[in-house]
Structure 1
Amino acid sequence: MAVLLRHERLFTTLPEANLMDGVDWEKDDPFEEQRERVESPMRRLIFEYGRPYWFSVSVGLISSVLARALDLLPALLLAVAIDAIFGDAVFAEQVPLSVLPEAWLPATQDGQFWFVVAAIAASFVFGAIFHWIRNWGFNAFSQSVQHDVRTATYDKMQRLDMEFFANKQTGEMMSVLSNDVNQLERFLNEGMNSATRLVVMVVGITFLLFWLEPQLAIVSLAPVPLIAAFTYLFVKKIQPKYAAVRSSVGKVNSRLENNLGGINVIKSSNTESFESGRVEDVSRKYYDTNWEAIWLRIKFFPGLQLISGIGFVLTFVVGGYWVFTETAPGPLTGTLQTGTFVAFILYTQQLVWPMAQFGQVINMYQRAEASSERIFGLMDEEGRIERDAEADALEVSAGRVEYDQVCFSYDIDAGNLVIDDISFEVEGGETVALVGPTGAGKSTVLKLLLRLYDVDEGAIRIDGRDVRDVSLSSLRRSMGYVGQESFLFYGTVEENIAYGSFDASREEIVAAAKAAEAHDFVQNLPEGYDTMVGERGVKLSGGQRQRVAIARAVLKDPDILVLDEATSDVDTETEMLIQRSIDELTENRTTFAIAHRLSTIKDADQILVLEGGRIVERGTHAELLEEDGLYAHLWGVQAGEIDDLPQEFIERAQRRQARTEVDIDATDDD
């Protein structure tokens, strides 16, 4: 009955977008709360993750400076050639050559010509070498930092509490691990490279212009303050738009991941058009937010280039008039040589692109800052489970488990207790079954034992030790868990059985499969144990996936076994075979079992009946039938004795189901 009601709930709520995926798509960035706590994310990125790779980034920076400096040399040497070799100026007295010893400079015109040619050629050759070294340095630095940030973010993410995952969509987290981390790599490589080029070109050209002719340099650089103000306004406006773009990317990923994961339901429900509409909606929101940022860039970059071009035009007009008339225009004084004027034209032209590129650097920086805020916001997330790095490992001896006045709520602030004052004891080697209607709190009770969540009040002890006082890894290592959803990883059957027991031999894997009644069907697969199961085990049936999951638990040989409806996806005949293997597995092993099919747990040493987060009945199967309470009525439902059920039980079931419909349990707690 509970299964039928659960299926009915699924199909009756299918058209409702917000109920289907649990996300209000109108909300802001799902990581907004985390982002607001982050301070100086880019500084943190460089000092925390860039420090180990100081050598490669230093090589990149130094090589970039030298390469860009050599890029400026040809124009300077061309000015020398025009004024001294092809004109009547003195070769040794030219500004760029005045710093060299006169003995190094050739006296003949031919020698001077080939000296300039050799110097220009050398600048190109050594410039290419330094450009190559620069690319190696920046790429090695950015790729290394990107790798470390991605692995550190994933490691932090997988260690967060289940509460975090209940409130986040997979696509949103994938967006952080993929898109946001990639944005960092782009800035650390292209952005830092471009920033270095910009600084060297602007500073170097400014220095050379003032060195060659200070008066004309002032004219050429007149638009610079306007460029600075224009760029400042761009930065102020673009920053919030990039944060919105990062958020919308996560929502698109979430919708696509959600739909692809539920493709079977979509097809069987004939809702392809409906889902296409929902994808179009989130894609349109991404389009709108991204287009706002693009439109701002479209207006900014041409405007910046136009302002930068003003300097080039002013230089050409003033300098050209000065050379053409041989008269200093306006308040300017002195003479201007033709070669110097040509150098000014070339340098001003070279200055236009770095100035325009400055906006692109700011653009990449803002994107990277928005991404780093999301990344470090996730890394700084703190859960309710406290981890003590100095905690001792759990050593299970008898396997005795005690729940002592345990209370728990998924939302502490709301104060709605899911588990309310539960106490019971399990002796080592006993099997305890938890039964009850949907939403009674059965799965939550066992999640607290695994410390997927921590109790709010009371304590859970194993052999007298509070589970909060032992290391988390040793606690979970001592337990085997088979849940309702038999998740399989993309890989072979053998790899999935051996997951968590990676050193197991093929013989041990086969033995575990036989114990789980999986060996026969595995042998009939195309490649036996080497058969690929597909993503999430899609190539296997539900019953086959469940038997592989049980084999995984068998192979682990845990001290405590947790079975959360471990046979829910198999037929009656297969259930009988699996139940036989489970009986052997649970012998002399502390076992917790949740089951809606009460026939599978009737031989349990102790049965706990939960309702509303409380234990309302406890005892053996026979004792509970004698009480003629909730358990007996549930047994009657499964035995087909619906007409004999009291009206009070039916009304209570209707009220429970109504509460479940209004407040769908995000933890799938049946």
Structure 2
Amino acid sequence: MVKRLFPYFKKLWVRLFVAIFCMAGVAAISTAVMWLMKFLIDESLAIKDTGALNIGIVVILSMFALKSILWYSHTYLTAFVSQSISRKLRDQVYGHLYSLSLGFFDEKTSGNILSRLTNDVTMLQISLASAPTILIRDGLTIMGLIGFLLYLHWKFALVCFLILPLAALILTKLGIKSRRAGRESQERMADMYSVIQEALTAMPIVKTFQNEAKEINDFAVENRNYFNVIMKLVRVEAQSSPIMEVLGSLVLALIIGVGGHDVIQGNWSLGEFMAFIGAAMSLYNPIKKFAKVNVQMQMGLAAAERIFHLLDQKPMVVDNPNAVNAPTFSKDIAFKNVDFQYPTSLTVLNKVNLNIHKGEIVALVGPSGSGKTTIAQLLLRFYDPLLGSIELDGVDIRNLTIKSLRSKMAIVTQETHLFNETVSENIAYGKPGSKREEIIQAAKLAYAHDFIQNLPNGYETIIGERGTRLSGGERQRIAIARSILKDPEILILDEATSALDAESEQMVQKAFDSLLQKRTVLVIAHRLATVRKSNRIIVLENGKIKESGNHEDLLEKKGMYHKLFELQSLV
């Protein structure tokens, strides 16, 4: 996992090396202070040399001033490096999401994905900021102080160091536990994000059905699960400090007990003894930090695992190596013996054969789950058929580039997807870089211009997340204007009016009259009143085509379409 992070340092090596140099400077000064303490005691205080004392004071002040500068520099530079890597990872993960097929999003919750983008990347950033600093700066400090201790009294130092393997063993075992707990905590955080995301998007439903208490309880359960895992992590982290305290106290007692006798007996100078104690005690803080950074590193590695697991996901629908751009649509769309099923469902389409001629309006009707929307998704290549093929002018769409195929299509759905941007930007989403005149013309054709003019800032009005500041009919007409501006050769209308009231539907139907002109249209509808103008109606049931014909012919057959029509007439 660490190797996979190396490429992200590529353009940051200079800053990283400067930061390491500054860390080495901090470590060197920390060791030099101990040597200076020995010098002041033995060469100044012991012989009452005020000149040497004054020089020592100036040197101490200079050394700490330099240490402060170096400390600031490496702190800033390591933060720059870690934040740059985090930014790059967020951009990479977010961009990678758009390369994945819809099947991936069918299996993953939005909260899980959001957690990877936010919590996991932040956790990794914290680890990248703290781990190198402690490992390098404090590691070099430890090496310097150990060297100084060996210089002062190597035999005594080696006896004290016998405790280090025990400390390393304990830290390794705690590290394994913390990594496991860290991975679990990030999974629980993802679950909590999912609950929050779901509740926020369903707020009107929650309030309507008065289920606030249920949602609060569901969140409390996930929050408690997260709390329990975090406390497990805290227990692991909390163990490290007391253990290091006990080990440190044993070393200090050994130094004072044995070293003190050597000073009394004249085998060791007071300056050497005090410097040894100072160096040994200075070792305690960086070694203690090693214990804490171990937990952060394990959590960072667990976060990295989750991030790279997402980056390793491959799209199920990709361009064939020899794919070509789709030519201008001129003949027909043909579904040939198409079978399809989603990973978690039974067969959705079974041996579907369907031809849609250029300029034809074809409606798909049938009960829920009969495969209507799936046909549209297969045409857009959100998924590929399990068996059979879909052809555009005789060419299997799998042999066309996805970008060129989708450039010929637009879709208007029941749940209109608008962005928290201006009206103008939402319409231009269908054709980025459009001129103002083109946007206004598209809005006029969609019968949206008048209500847009009445908005507080006209076309520059921010319409809120998912267009919540507009009515259902207004949102739908913005979506129609977006499709008109794109000027697609093939148009898909997926339950585009089913959620509207009669007045709104009437306005949207007028907008559709502008949109449908000279296009090939696939209409998906439950409400049969919306498909009467279709050239052909396809009746689906259990993934199979049961009937085909226009409205009048299908009524005369008195088959499934007639039955559906009578049921809706009664309603």
Scaled by the length of structure 2, the TM-score of the pair is 0.96
Q: Equivalents in 2 of 1:558, 1:186: separation in Å?
A: 47
Q: Aligned residue for 2:86?
A: 146
2:366 and 2:539 in contact (8 A); partners too: yes
Which residue does 2:332 correspond to in 1?
400
**Structure 1, 537-546 or 166-175: larger mean CA deviation:** 537-546
Maintained 8 Å contact 1:308/1:356: no
| 1:203 aligns to 2:143 (yes or no) | yes
Letter of the structure 2 residue corresponding to residue 133 of structure 1: S
Pair 1:316-2:252 in alignment: no
Which residue does 2:452 correspond to in 1? 522
Cα distance between partner residues in 1 of 2:214 and 2:442: 44
Q: CA deviation at 1:436?
A: 0.8
Q: Which residue of 1 aligns with 2:194?
A: 254
The RMSD of aligned alpha carbons is 1.9
Deviations 1:461-481 (A, max 9, x none): 112222111221222222111
Number of equivalenced pairs: 571
2:250 and 2:319 map into 1 onto residues whose CA distance is 62
Deviation of 1:282 (Å) = 1.0
- Tell me what 1:290 maps to: 230
Cα distance change on mapping 1:399 and 1:78 into 2, 3 Å: farther
CA shift digits 1:220-275 (9 cap, x unpaired): 32321221121122122222211111111111111111111111111111111111
Deviation, 1:189, is 0.8
* SS in structure 1 of the partner of residue 297 of structure 2: helix
Q: Give, in angstroms, the shift of residue 206 of structure 1.
A: 0.7
- TM (norm. structure 1) is 0.82
Q: Which runs of 5+ in 1 are unaligned?
A: 1-40, 90-108, 327-334, 643-670
SS in 2 for 1:395: coil
Per the alignment, residue 655 of structure 1 pairs with: none
Instruction: Judge conservation of contact 1:142–1:189 (CA < 8 Å) in 2.
Output: yes
Q: Measure the CA separation in 2 of the matches of 1:216 and 1:356.
A: 22
Deviates more, 1:575-584 or 1:542-551: 575-584
Q: Give the whole-Å Cα distance in 2 for the aligned partners of 1:555 and 1:179.
A: 39
Q: What's 1:492 paired with?
A: 422
Tell me whether 1:137 sits opposite 2:100 in the alignment.
no
Q: Aligned residues: percent identity?
A: 34
Q: Tell me the alpha carbon deviations over residues 70-103 of structure 1, each in whole angstroms, 9 at most, x when there is no partner.
A: 22212211211211123359xxxxxxxxxxxxxx
The answer to whether the Cα contact below 8 Å between 2:419 and 2:465 also exists between their aligned partners in 1 is yes
Q: Secondary structure at the match of 2:339?
A: strand
Does the 8 Å CA contact 1:512/1:554 hold for their aligned counterparts?
yes
Please report how far the alpha carbon of residue 382 of structure 1 lies from its aligned counterpart in structure 2 after TM superposition. Answer: 2.3
2:2 maps to 42
Deviation, 1:147, is 0.7
SS at match of 1:458: strand
Change (3 A) 1:230 1:615: same
SS in 2 for 1:532: coil
How has the CA–CA distance of structure 1 residues 312 and 477 changed in structure 2, closer, same or farther, with 3 Å as cutoff? farther
Equivalent residue letter for 2:17: S
Q: 1:67 aligns with which of 12, 20, 26?
A: 26
8 Å CA contact 1:516–1:581 kept in 2: the answer is yes
**Structure 1 residues 207, 388: CA separation in 2 closer, same or farther (over 3 Å shift)?**
farther
C-alpha change, 1:631 and 1:345, in structure 2 (3 Å) is: same
**1:411 pairs with 2:411:** no
**Residues 367-516 of structure 1 mapped to structure 2, 5 A cutoff:** 367-388=299-320, 391-398=323-330, 400-411=332-343, 416-516=346-446
Shift of 1:166: 1.4
Contact 2:45 2:53 in 1 (8 A): no
Distance 2:489 2:249 in 1: 76
- What is the SS of the residue equivalent to 1:624? helix
Shift of 1:142: 0.6
Check the 8 A contact 1:149/1:181 in 2, yes or no.
Answer: yes
Mean alpha-carbon deviation: is it higher for 211-220 or for 266-275?
Answer: 211-220
Q: Distance in 2 between matches of 1:324 and 1:381?
A: 69
Cα deviations by residue, 1:500-555 (Å, 9 ceiling, x for unpaired): 42211222212212222222222222222222222222222222222211111111
Unaligned runs of 5+ in 2: none
- For the pair 1:351 / 2:310, whether they are aligned, the reply is no
One-letter amino acid matched to 2:59? A
C-alpha contact (below 8 Å) 2:333/2:391 kept by paired residues: yes
For residues 443-463 of structure 1, what are the alpha-carbon distances to aligned partners after superposition, in whole Å with 9 as ceiling and x for unaligned?
000000111111111111112
Structure 2 Cα separation of the partners of residues 446 and 586 of structure 1 = 17
1:242 is the counterpart of 2:182: yes
On the 8 A contact 1:405/1:421 being kept in 2, the answer is yes
- CA distance in 1 between counterparts of 2:403 and 2:64 reads 59
Task: Report the alpha carbon displacement of residue 389 of structure 1 after superposing the two structures with TM.
Answer: 6.3
Give the letter aligned to residue 40 of structure 2: A
Q: Which residue of 2 aligns with 1:58?
A: 17
Deviates more, 1:201-210 or 1:302-311: 302-311
CA contact (8 A) 1:171 1:257 kept: yes
